[in-house]
Structure 1
Amino acid sequence: MTAAAYDEIADWYETEFLNRPRPAAGDGHPLSLGFLLDEFLGAGSGTCLEIGCGTGVHADRLRTLGWTPVGIDLSGGMLRHARERLPVVQADAGQLPVRAGSLSAVVAVMAHTDMPQYPQVLREVSRILRPGGVFVHVGVHPCFCGGFADRGDLEAVVIRPGYLDGHWTKASWTDKGVRDKVGASHLPLPELLHGFLDAGLTLDRFAEGGAPTPAVLAIKGTKSRCSG
């Protein structure tokens, strides 16, 4: 469902959604989030895998940090645009075609709500990371965004019942974004954090983005150096 939906909106996403007026830092638009990659991933070398890479808009930022970006996404339509920006593979993030313990860095930016089985994705991330490898998750803030949240007035975001349900929905406060078109899966905050811990990732750092009510939650996780 997700892949087909993004196939249908890929051209709109690339030519219209990404070309809206430049957003404020951290407000949830993909182009406003590069500073979190700077802070949480930082400078490095070697391959950095972006899961759910979409049209590949973060590739240049990763290169600036010294990494060699490679992208994985389910949607062939999105990858048609991404191929102009970085090497890509069409694959399911829940079954990554990557050798265990082979990478030092993985990132996911505004992608986890497109992955209904995100805890399985986190287990795959942990599997492919080397001991000491880093995973940077930048995603929709589970407490303040979703079908239960009306962000029509950012000075007074209204949270209705539904936060604890953990369901997929197309409900959205706006028809100008992505969610009313492709839907989103929701994980309450404890379930999201437990996904990291259950996958064997150590939680190292957190940040919230957007004001006055955060739209984004960033998490840095590290693969344990212990073999177990």
Structure 2
Amino acid sequence: MTTGAAYDEIADWYEDAFLAAQGDADPIGVGAALDALLGPGDGVCLEVGCGTGAHADRVRALGWTPVGVDLSAGMLRRSAGRLTAARADAARLPVRDASVDAVIAVMVHTDMPAYPAVLREVARVLRPGGVFVHVGVHPCFCGGFADATDRAALIIRPGYLDVHWTKDSYTDQGIRDKVGAAHWPLPALLHAFLDAGLDLERFAEGGGPTPMTLAVRARA
């Protein structure tokens, strides 16, 4: 089963239960990272893995024009009215070279086993000097190797150092146990940015008491 098909099966749960439970809260700092690292702008902002378009309003509030791509038809069905989006593989973006001002990838890199190839596509479609913001689960503290049953005493087991795909999870209320997740150790993840030709600029972490997200701003 492809990741797109897996998300087709959970699209309604994702929108009506998972996202609805968060309401307007920003428990792991996704919104704060976009505000700080993407910031105001007035051009096109392409979201790779846009899903149901949950971040489009924030991007639009910053002045950008949000557009998106996603592999899951089910998720895109729930994005109607939020942003203009197309069904496409993020590793083969249907976008011209050097044609967009900004790109974001929000909580999706673990859904993309070919994320290094996605980063190369991001570098290709960005205008010179364009900004890319990655917000993803923190590779050091989130994964099948991390047991967060007690958020005050996170347990890290062997597995962090290995690049792998897993559905192992400490909870059945999240996404990883349903669709699986790719994992890269922090050096491998950051090297993928550099190998794609992206220049790293700024970083942020979100959530607590241990960080749940790692955000990166880079330039083409």
Per the alignment, residue 20 of structure 1 pairs with 21
Report 1:109-148 matches (<5 A): 109-148=106-145
Asked if 1:79 is matched to 2:76, the reply is: yes
Partner Cα separation in structure 1 for residue 99 and residue 46 of structure 2? 11
Q: TM-score when scaled to structure 2?
A: 0.97
SS in 2 for 1:95: coil
Q: TM-score when scaled to structure 1?
A: 0.94
Partner Cα separation in structure 1 for residue 73 and residue 107 of structure 2? 18
Partner Cα separation in structure 1 for residue 187 and residue 130 of structure 2? 23
1:58 aligns with one of 52, 55, 65: 55
Q: Tell me, yes or no, if the aligned pair for 1:71 and 1:87 is still in contact at 8 Å.
A: yes
Partner Cα separation in structure 2 for residue 72 and residue 164 of structure 1? 31
Instruction: Quickly say closer, same or farther: Cα 1:146–1:195, change in 2 above 3 A.
Output: same
**What letter corresponds to residue 17 of structure 1 in structure 2?**
F
SS in 2 for 1:7: helix
Partner Cα separation in structure 2 for residue 100 and residue 42 of structure 1? 23
Report 1:25-40 matches (<5 A): 25-27=26-28, 32-40=29-37
Per the alignment, residue 183 of structure 2 pairs with 186
Gaps of at least 5 residues in structure 2 are: none
Superposed displacement of residue 26, structure 1:
4.7
Instruction: Quickly say closer, same or farther: Cα 1:23–1:188, change in 2 above 3 A.
Output: farther
Partner Cα separation in structure 1 for residue 32 and residue 142 of structure 2? 21
Asked if 1:103 is matched to 2:100, the reply is: yes
Superposed displacement of residue 212, structure 1:
1.1
Q: Tell me, yes or no, if the aligned pair for 1:41 and 1:134 is still in contact at 8 Å.
A: yes
Query: What is the number of equivalent residue pairs in this alignment?
Result: 219
